[in-house]
Each structure stands twice: as structure tokens, then as C-alpha cells.
Amino acid sequence: MLSVVLVFLFSFLPSVHAESLLVTVVLSEDGGAYQAFSDSLRNKLQNSRVILSSQSIDDKPGGSGLYIAVGMKAATELAARDVPTLNVLVPKAGYDKLLRASAQHAKPRSAIYLDQPMERQVALLLAALPGTRNVGVLYSSPPPELQAAHRLFADRNVNLHDRAIDASQSLNDALEIILKESEVLFVLADAEVYNAGTIRNILLTSYRKQVPLIGISQAYVKAGALCAIYSTPEQIAAQTIEAVRQFSETGKLPPSLYPKEFEVSVNTQVARSLDIPIKGAASLREEIRGKP
Amino acid sequence: MKRHGIERQTLAVAVIPILILALLLESYFTYTRFADLDRALFERAKLIVRQLASSSEYPVFSGNQVLLQQQIDTAFSQQDVNSIIVLDADSKLIAGAGGMRNSGERERLENLASKAKDFSAFQEDRNVLRLYQSIVATQIKLDELGNSSAENAPNKALGSVIVEIGKGRLNREKIEMLGLNLFLLLLVLMTTMLIAMRVSRRITRPVLQMNNAIRRIGEGHLDTYIAGNRVLELDELASGINDMVRLLRQDRNTLQQRIDDATQELRKKKEEAEKANSDKSRFLAAASHDLRQPMHALGLFVGELHNRLETPEQRKIAGKVEESVEALSSLLDSLLDISKLDAGIVIPQIQGVDVEIMIQRLVQDFNPVALRKNITLRVRSLNEMVLSDPVLLERILLNLLSNAIRYTPPNGTVLLACRRWGDNLRIEVRDNGIGIPPDEQQNVFREFVQLANSARDRSKGLGLGLAIVDRLARLLHHTLDLHSVPNRGSTFAVTVPRVFGVEDLLAEPGNVPVAVMPKSDRLENLRVLVVDDDMLVRTSTAGILESWGCQVSVGESLEAVWNEYAESHFDLVICDYRLPDGNGLQLADRIKEHCEVPPAFILISGDTSPEILQAVNERDHHLLHKPVRPAKLRSLMLFMLKRRDGTLP
């Protein structure tokens, strides 16, 4: 496992008297979003006294007050140790699974999830496609948030059609069926269904049926999803700094949370191709933000 | 070593490098071009299969048969595509075009492709190229934020595309190209050969011309001229040959001139030699004639003298004189014989000859001589008839015998022997005398050659005997052999054809003067006319005739005889052939005309010309050559009288 350990010394001004906190950032791997997060974190801490060092994840930096695990790999690794850990860029389902699997910890542990709360996602869908009555969901095994989704859509008078892919039903067959019933395909994170190899064909199939797809990250939008709601590494870094500050002041971490800030991304080309009138990304974001 | 002409060698020099170069270039370019073609086809096929794999990704994913078929048809419509099949992930045929059904090949390709990085494989044979390409979903990365489970999703193949590309067009193109290349190669070769042949002809033709010219020169046509040539070296060669010919011509002319001169010289020499020879013959003939006149007279005088002498002393001297005259006379006879034989006027009278009689006679003649020398003369005779001239054959044997006796010392033996030798008779004269050395055996037949007589003792002969024998044998076509060992003796043999049966009867020994002279003297009172212009001869002849008891009248010319003895009768006329106003024959003719009983006629001549002999023979006269020995004259006269009296036929 490639891990990069960044050690930060946090010293928040102006509390001069306050003791400096040694923070170790453990990346699941170099590059990509993890690196972006780490860079952003460092940028935001420019005015603080930062002690930065690279070290192996297996080393035990003495005196480190807080570990920040970036990504599932780092989180899994650190979960085995009884150290104060803040997990970031981890999906809620994965983190919950990790918590259930590992033993109770004496040291504080918390997380800032990668994914958006279901409410926010539903809000985006409705904001982008206000008149939607039928929404399709595909999965390999029922995801934890499915219940919440059902409830939320039901509250808003929207039918949620869900369908599982199994041995008897291929992805395409399931897709064909779900696309017949739905006006929009709503993505719930499921690597079995949505992955690099399948996404193109899923998109192609859905658009042939004039069914737009709502994604869960900017990559989806780039691949051809109509729109997506997500948090950037910078936004999460900012929230991380808040959590670290709180930890340094109180010695406690905030509870595990979804990201506070988010971004909306719209693929106007897709919208135009499918002849869908859609609002701008900014206005959608504002609209969602306005709703609690 | 095999030989080749210039033309072939030039051809080889020109063609072989060109051929090698052309073949190398052709094969290189053909090979690269073929490789290019193969590569191009392969690239195109790869492109087609990739394109199809890519474009059929969605139809295969979505199970859209119509769309898939469209894609396949689009690909299938491309050139060279034989057939296409699209399989799903379980290798089940979804759609296809063309007629590929070879599942074995398919499996092999799949196996190959599963090992390959880009899920493709190909397989080809002479006629087709098959490409396999997995249909793999286009990869679009979704989770930048490390949703690790997404990355674990297997990169599963949706299916596969197999395209079969026909190589028919490619192979045709290759064959066409190969054909064109070979045609070009051939064209280049032909052109090269043509040029090489033209060039070599420009050399070989003049060389052949020169060769012909040289052959003509060799045959002697020195007027041959070789025209100039465009090729420098050949031109020099031609002019060299021309110079050579000119020199040869000059040399030949010079040589010819010399030969002509030499020939002229030789002809002159030959003429001179011939003239000398005929001069010699004429001299001999004339000398014989002129010597004969006095010799003739001398003999007759001595004969008469002998008759008239009374004392034995005188008779003895006269006998010596007679002997000397005899020797002189025989020398003259021999000389005359030789000259006659050389002059070619002796014509052999071939007839049957009784050898036994001839030998008896010879022995009779030689016995006294042999006795005198105390030499045993032995004879082995055979009763045989041979075909020859009796006189000439006898002369041969006589000479041989006389020769043998002369060269055999006292107490020696001379053998005269005959033996049958097939159809011939071989008559040998053998002695045990001094013999003849081998290197002298040819010389003994030349005139005046006498071995062991350097002092030229006349009693040993003149050295003409064997020369005469040789000439006679040649004249008679009788083979003459000589076998001799010095100090042991010599054998001379003459081979004469025998006469058998009927020829014996036909043989006419008539003309042979074989009559034995009768002892009775019947010449008395014989009326004889002697005509000779030479007074000495006239008187000597008259003298001897008178001593024999004849009544002799003399005359010196035709006219004189005519005037004096027109009315007289003679039994015998002895006449010199050559007379001052005519010849003896004219006289004989006239006497014959005027007399009822013409007298017998003896012509005496010093000439040996055949015309005279012929003329005399025609008239049945007798011819004696000077000098005439008295004994001979007498025996002839007796013979003629006998014939006239009818005692002889």
C-alpha cells in the first residue's frame, strides 16, 4: 500500500499560549483527489506553523496528536490502531462498515464523508428536473441509503423504481427494464453497476431512451451524466481544518458528518442533446443550499 | 577446356553482372513491396477489426442486433473482407456476415487473444488472414476520490469480433507485380543481350572476315585485301595482315622468278645433256662405222694373207695378227652393240627358243676356252622351250659365260644350269671365281667397269659384256639376278618365260642361223659382184673371195656397176649400203628388175639405223654389219647357197 504521511504542526494564531498540535496526514495513495486534498490542506494552513514530514505509515510518529486518514485504505489501516483519527474522503457506507468491523476505541474517531446526504441528492434531482415523477435506481445489492431514498421520493410524490442486477438478469436487461419505467436514472454508488467499463454503455443506453442520468461526482458529468452534486477536496479540507481546530481546542472531534459545502456540476451539452431545459450549476446550488 | 567464341564471352560479360544485379534488385524490391503489401493489408485488417470492435461495443452491450448487423455490414462492405462474425462473452455467435464457420480456428484465436495484452490475435495462411479482437468496454474513470471498489471491477470483455480478410486480391496483385517485374527483367536482359551481341558482332564479323581472308591467303590467293575496321585494334590487325600479304606477294614473285630462272637453267642443262647423249650416240655410230671400214678390210686382208702364207712361222705371225684383228673386231662389235641398244634400234624377234640346243652350242663354243684355262664347265640343261629372241638370249648367255670363264681362276668350275621356276625358266651361270663385293654389284652392269682389272688387260675383255647383258635383259623383259660373295663366286641368272604345249609347235626356229657350216667348199666358181666405194674394202673383199675360189667382179658406184655389168650374171652381190650415187637397196632393186634369176644379195653396212634394217628385211636380203669377219661372211654365203639350191627351206 502506497501511503504518504504528512505531518503538520498546527498552531492556530492568535492563541499564542496554546500548545502546538502535531497532525499526521496519511494518504491512501499519491496523486488524484487525495493529493488535491493534501495540497489544499497545506495551502489553507499557510499562516500556521506547519511541521511537514514524510514517513511511512507503519512508523509511529511520537507525539502526534491527530491522524487524518485520507481515503478508505488509509482509514482501514489506521482503524487498526488506537489513535485519534479523522477520516476524510471516505464513503459513508464504507466508513460505517469499517466501524462495525473494528473494535471499540478509547481515542476519539470521526469522519467527514465523501458522499452527499440523500436529501441533497434528491434536492438536486428535483431542482434540475422539477417535473420528474419516475426515478430509476440500479444496484447489485440493496444499498443502505435506499430506504432513505424511497422515503424522500415518496414524500415528494416521486416513484422510485429500483432493480437489482443478478445472475439471472444482466446489466443491460435490468437497464432496459428500468429505463422503460423511469424518466431519470438516479445513481447510487455501487461499483458493481457503475464502473469505468460500464458507464459509457449505461450512458449510451439511457440516452438512447432519452433518459438522463444524475451522477454522484464530477467525473460522471464529464462522462456524460446530466448533472451531479459533490464536494471538492478543497471544501472537505476546509471542513477538516475546522474539525482539527475544534480538536486542538477541546480535545474532541466533531461527530461524523457529510460535507457541509458542495458543488453542483451540469453538462449543458447533454442537456441540449436531450433537449432538457436546465438551470445553471450555480443557481441549482443556491437552490439546494436554500433548502435545509 | 571448353572454348567459347568472342560473341558468347562478350554476352556472358555483359549479361551475367546485369542478370545478377537485376535479380538482386528485383528480388529486393519485390520482397519489400510484398512485405509492404502484406503490412498494408494487415494494418487495414487491424483497423477494420478494431473499428468494428469499437463500434460494435454498444450494440453488443445493448444486444442491439440491428445496429450490430449495420456495423458488421459496414465493415463487410470494405474491400477484401471475406467474412465477419461477432461473438458474445460466452463465444456465442451473435451476428455475422460472410460464411466463416470454422470454430476450431476461432478457439485457437481466442486462446491466442486471451494471452495478448490488447485482446487481439491474428492467424493467417496463404489465402486468408483472420483477426480476432475482443470487444472491451471503453474505460471512463468515474471515481477520482478513491472509491476503491470501482477499480476492482473486472475489465470484462463484452464479446469478440473475428474478421476474415481474403488475400485473393493481394495475391493477384503480387502475381501481377511479379509478372511485371519478370517482364522488366526480361526486357533489360534482352536489351543487354542485343547490345552485347551488336557490340560483339562488330568484333567477330571482322575477325571472321580476317579468318576467311587468312584462309584465302593460305590457299595462295595473295591478292586478298582486308578492308579497314572501325575498331582500332582490328583495324591495326587488318592493316598488319595486308602488309604481310604484300610482303608475301613480293616474296612469292621473287621466288617465282628464281624458280623460273632455275627451271630455264635446268631445261637448258637437260637439253645440253640430251644433246650430249645423242652426240655421243651419233659419235659412237659414226665411229663404229668409220672404224669398221678399215677393220672390215683388215680382217679380209689378213684372212687372205693367212691363206697365202706358206711357212709355219709366217702362219704363226699371221695367226697372231688374226687374233689381234679378232679382238679389235669384237671390241668394235661390242661398242656397236651398245650403241645399237642405246639408240633403241634393236627390235627383239620373240619366238620359241629351244634352250637345250642353244646351250649345247654355247658349250661347244666355250669348251676349248675352258679347257685352255683348265676350268671345268659343267652343264645342267633341260629340254625346254622359252619365249625370247634367240639371238639376243644367246648373246646374253654368251656374255655371261665368257665373263664367268674370264673371272674364274684355273681349276675353277663354271656351271651353266637351267631350272624350272614356276612358269619361267631360270638359266644360271655360276662360277666360283673372285666374286663381286656388294657395293660393286650394281656397278658391274655399267660400261667399261672391270673389277680386278685396273691395268685394263685387254685379254680380260672390254668391260662391255655385262653392260650389254643388262641392256638386253631389259629389252627382252627378262629378269636378271646377281648373287655374289667375294672370293666365293658369283651367280648370274636370267629368268625367261617358258613355252608350253601348242606354242612348241607354233614356234618357228626358221630364221635362226643354226645351220652347221658344211666343210665342203662350194664357193668355187661362184660369181660374185662386190660393190663398195672404198677401194680398200673393195680390194680386200675381192681378195678374200678370190682366195675362196670365187670369180669376183668389183664396182665402186651404181653407175659404174650399171655401165660395166649390165649384161653380166652374178650368183651373189655383196654391196655396201652407202654408195656415192645411191644405196645398196637401189642397186638390188634394179638388178632384180633386169635379171630373170636375181642373185643373192648381201648388204654390208656400218649404219645401225632401224630404217635400213627394216628395208633390208622387207626385201629378204641379208645385212651384215661392218666389220665382217671372213668366217662370218663365208658361212652366210654358204647358207644362202644352200637355200638357193633347195637344201634348206
Please tell me which residue, B123 or B500, carries the higher pLDDT value: B123
- Is residue A258 in some structural domain? no
- Is residue A257 in some structural domain? no
Right CATH for B519-645 from 3.30.930.10, 3.60.21.10, 3.40.50.2300, 3.80.30.20 = 3.40.50.2300
Residue of B nearest to A31 (CA): B144
- pLDDT at position B509, please? 44
Nearest-by-Cβ selection for B143 from A204, A208, A219: A219
Reported as a pLDDT band with limits 50, 70 and 90, residue B646 is low
Query: Is the Cβ pair B153, A217 closer than 8 Å?
Result: no
Per-residue 3-state assignment (H helix, E strand, C coil) for chain A = CCCEEEEEEECCCCCCCCCCEEEEEEECCCCHHHHHHHHHHHHHCCCCCCCCCEECCCCCCCCCCEEEEEHHHHHHHHHCCCCCEEEEEECHHHHHHHHHHCCCCCCCEEEEECCCCHHHHHHHHHHHCCCCCEEEEEECCCCCCHHHHHHHHHHCCCEEEEEECECCECHHHHHHHHHHHCCEEECCCCCCCCCCCCHHHHHHHHHHCCCCEEECCHHHHHHCCCEEEECCHHHHHHHHHHHHHHHHHHCCCCCCECCCCCEEEECHHHHHHCCCCCCCHHHHHHHHHHCC
Q: Output the average pLDDT for chain B.
A: 81
- pLDDT at position B628, please? 76
Q: In angstroms, how far is the first alpha carbon of chain A from the final one?
A: 40
- pLDDT at position A258, please? 93
Closest approach of A279 to chain B, Cα-based (Å): 24
User: Which residues in chain A are closer than 8 Å to B141, comparing Cβ atoms?
Assistant: 196, 219
Query: Is the Cβ pair B150, A195 closer than 8 Å?
Result: yes
Nearest-by-Cβ selection for B148 from A33, A72, A172: A72
Please tell me which residue, B161 or A12, carries the higher pLDDT value: B161
By the CB < 8 Å criterion, does A200 face chain B?
Answer: yes
Residue A125 shares a structural domain with residue A165: yes
Give Cβ neighbours of residue B239 (< 8 Å, ≥ 6 apart). Answer: B228
CA distance A116 to B5: 102
Query: Is the Cβ pair A71, B63 closer than 8 Å?
Result: no
By the CB < 8 Å criterion, does A114 face chain B?
Answer: yes
Residue A162 shares a structural domain with residue A44: no
Average pLDDT over residues B560-586: 83
User: DSSP H helical segments within B374-455, as ranges?
Assistant: 390-407
User: Which residues in chain B are closer than 8 Å to A176, comparing Cβ atoms?
Assistant: 62
By the CB < 8 Å criterion, does A219 face chain B?
Answer: yes
- pLDDT at position B609, please? 66
ipTM value for the complex:
0.71
Residues 142-171 of A with CB under 8 A from B: none
Q: Mean pLDDT check: name the lowest of A43-47, A86-90, B71-75.
A: A43-47
The yes-or-no verdict on residue B417 having pLDDT over 70 is: yes
The yes-or-no verdict on residue B461 having pLDDT over 70 is: no
Per-residue cell: B574: 655383196
Average pLDDT over residues B454-478: 74
Nearest-by-Cβ selection for A200 from B138, B145, B149: B138
User: DSSP H helical segments within B379-499, as ranges?
Assistant: 390-407, 465-476
Residue A128 shares a structural domain with residue A109: no
Residue ranges matching CATH 3.30.565.10 in chain B: 348-511
Residue ranges matching CATH 3.40.50.2300 in chain B: 519-645
pLDDT tens per residue across span B102-151? 667 777 777 777 777 677 888 888 888 888 888 888 888 776 554 544 44
- Is residue A36 in some structural domain? yes
By the CB < 8 Å criterion, does A69 face chain B?
Answer: no
Reported as a pLDDT band with limits 50, 70 and 90, residue B506 is very low
Reported as a pLDDT band with limits 50, 70 and 90, residue B521 is low
Residue A142 shares a structural domain with residue A280: yes
- pLDDT at position B505, please? 45
Determine the distance from the C-alpha atom of residue B186 to the mean position of all C-alpha atoms in its chain, rounded to a whole number. Answer: 57
By the CB < 8 Å criterion, does A189 face chain B?
Answer: yes
Closest approach of B118 to chain A, Cα-based (Å): 15
User: Which residues in chain B are closer than 8 Å to A263, comparing Cβ atoms?
Assistant: none
| Highest-pLDDT range among A229-238, B203-212, B295-304, B497-506 | A229-238
B130 membership: H or E segment, kind and range: strand B128-136
Residue of A nearest to B136 (CA): A197
Q: Which domain holds residue A245?
A: 4-114+232-250
Please tell me which residue, A106 or B570, carries the higher pLDDT value: B570
Query: Is the Cβ pair B153, A73 closer than 8 Å?
Result: no
Domain count, chain A: 2
Closest approach of B156 to chain A, Cα-based (Å): 8
Its pTM stands at 0.50
Which of B145, B148, B149 to mutate against chain A (most A CBs within 10 Å)?
Answer: B145
- pLDDT at position B503, please? 47
Residue A38 shares a structural domain with residue A74: yes
In 3D, which of B576, B537, B608 has the Cα closest to residue B336? B608
CA distance B11 to B19: 11
Residue B627 burial (C-beta neighbours within 10 Å; 0-12, 13-18, 19+) = buried
Query: Is the Cβ pair A197, B58 closer than 8 Å?
Result: no
- pLDDT at position B152, please? 47
Residue A130 shares a structural domain with residue A80: no
- pLDDT at position A63, please? 57
Please tell me which residue, B617 or B461, carries the higher pLDDT value: B617
Nearest-by-Cβ selection for B146 from A71, A201, A204: A71
User: Which residues in chain A are closer than 8 Å to B153, comparing Cβ atoms?
Assistant: 191-192, 195-198
Nearest-by-Cβ selection for A201 from B58, B144, B145: B58
The yes-or-no verdict on residue A139 having pLDDT over 50 is: yes
Residue A269 shares a structural domain with residue A166: yes
By the CB < 8 Å criterion, does A208 face chain B?
Answer: yes
Per-residue cell: A13: 494564531
Query: Is the Cβ pair B61, A189 closer than 8 Å?
Result: no
Query: Is the Cβ pair A197, B141 closer than 8 Å?
Result: no
Query: Is the Cβ pair A196, B58 closer than 8 Å?
Result: no
Closest approach of A49 to chain B, Cα-based (Å): 28
Nearest-by-Cβ selection for A200 from B137, B146, B150: B137
By the CB < 8 Å criterion, does A91 face chain B?
Answer: yes
Closest approach of A198 to chain B, Cα-based (Å): 7
User: Which residue type sits at B481?
Assistant: D
Closest approach of A210 to chain B, Cα-based (Å): 15
Residue ranges matching CATH 3.30.450.20 in chain B: 6-139+154-174
User: Which residues in chain B are closer than 8 Å to A169, comparing Cβ atoms?
Assistant: none
Q: Output the average pLDDT for chain A.
A: 83
Question: Cell numbers 670363264 label which residue?
Answer: B405
Query: Is the Cβ pair A32, B145 closer than 8 Å?
Result: yes
By the CB < 8 Å criterion, does B57 face chain A?
Answer: yes
User: Which residues in chain A are closer than 8 Å to B139, comparing Cβ atoms?
Assistant: 196-197
CATH assignment of B348-511? 3.30.565.10
Query: Is the Cβ pair B62, A217 closer than 8 Å?
Result: no
- Is residue A255 in some structural domain? no
Reported as a pLDDT band with limits 50, 70 and 90, residue A14 is very low
Residue A162 shares a structural domain with residue A271: yes
The yes-or-no verdict on residue B3 having pLDDT over 70 is: no
User: Which residue type sits at B292?
Assistant: R
User: Which residue type sits at A146?
Assistant: L
Residue A24 shares a structural domain with residue A145: no
Average pLDDT over residues A143-159: 90
User: Which residues in chain B are closer than 8 Å to A71, comparing Cβ atoms?
Assistant: 145-146, 148
Reported as a pLDDT band with limits 50, 70 and 90, residue A225 is very high
Residue of A nearest to B57 (CA): A201
Residue A40 shares a structural domain with residue A128: no
Residue A283 shares a structural domain with residue A171: yes
Reported as a pLDDT band with limits 50, 70 and 90, residue B454 is low
CA distance B84 to B96: 5
Residues 87-146 of B with CB under 8 A from A: 136-146
pLDDT tens per residue across span B244-288? 888 988 998 999 999 999 999 999 999 998 888 777 767 766 766
Nearest-by-Cβ selection for B145 from A192, A197, A217: A217
Q: Mean pLDDT check: name the lowest of B55-59, B342-346, B584-588, B627-631.
A: B342-346
**Domain B6-139+154-174 belongs in CATH node 3.30.450.20:** yes
By the CB < 8 Å criterion, does A73 face chain B?
Answer: yes
Residue A100 shares a structural domain with residue A143: no
